[in-house]
Amino acid sequence: MADSSAAAAAHHAPSGEVTKRDLLQLIAVAGAAIGAGAIAWPLIDSMNPSKDVLALSSVEVDLTPVTEGQGITIVWQGKPIFVRHRTAAEIKEAQDVKLSDLIEPQADSARVKAGHDQWIVLIGICTHLGCVPLGNKPSDPRGEWGGWFCPCHGSQYDTSGRVRHGPAPANLALPPYAFESDTKIKVG
């Protein structure tokens, strides 16, 4: 028995006509896809963060000019970042302190990168009410523990950025960063 649906198709639409219509539909679909693609690209492109924003998401810092005992402040994502090149005495002081003497006990080794303990990198925002502590410039007061002094209410931080005198309740926070070489870090 002959296939009735095939027979019906042949009856209603000769094979040449079906092929032409399919082709026209294919062209229409392809055209729509190209059109959609052309519209989508500028939209996607406009959703990408601008180069300025990308640049701020991480900052490379050349450590070469920062001599021992000196600190610099850079800005990362709108926050001051302290980078201090610690002297041997400052490192020893930070390492020798008894953890039980600390308001927020944390070993110095947990606050620096292994093999780079001469560098301390901190978010320079006092953990009390958010002032920027002093201590990076050579002329700045550094407090009794030789680190940073917050002029707002007198909090003091040691050479590891740990709070030693309140009212600040916590150590200066550490930003995410990595050494790209011995003389370059990338913050963020």
150 binds ligand FES (CB under 6 A): yes
* In the complex, least distance from residue 124 CB atom to ligand FES, rounded to whole angstroms: 11
The Cα 95–Cα 120 span in angstroms is 13
The Cα 109–Cα 165 span in angstroms is 21
* In the complex, least distance from residue 112 CB atom to ligand FES, rounded to whole angstroms: 23
Label residue 135 exposed, middle or buried (CB < 10 Å: 0-12, 13-18, 19+).
Answer: buried
What are the distances in angstroms from CA 138 to CA 72, 87, 132, 162, 180? 10, 13, 16, 20, 27
Question: Which phi-psi region, left, alpha or beta, contains residue 46 (left: φ > 0; alpha: ψ -120 to 50)?
Answer: alpha
Binding mask 26-65 toward ligand FES (x if CB under 6 A, else -) reads ----------------------------------------
| Catalytic residue IDs | 153
* In the complex, least distance from residue 67 CB atom to ligand FES, rounded to whole angstroms: 28
20 binds ligand FES (CB under 6 A): no
167 binds ligand FES (CB under 6 A): yes
Vertex 127 angle, CA 140 and 163, to 5° = 65
168 binds ligand FES (CB under 6 A): yes
Residue list 98-127, contact with ligand FES (CB under 6 A): 126
155 binds ligand FES (CB under 6 A): yes
Region binding ligand FES by CB under 6 A among candidate stretches 22-30, 67-75, 146-154, 171-179: 146-154
Are 154 and 164 in contact, with CB atoms under 8 Å apart? no
**Between 14 and 169, whose beta carbon lies closer to ligand FES?**
169
Residues that bind ligand FES (CB under 6 A): 126, 128-131, 150, 152-155, 167-168
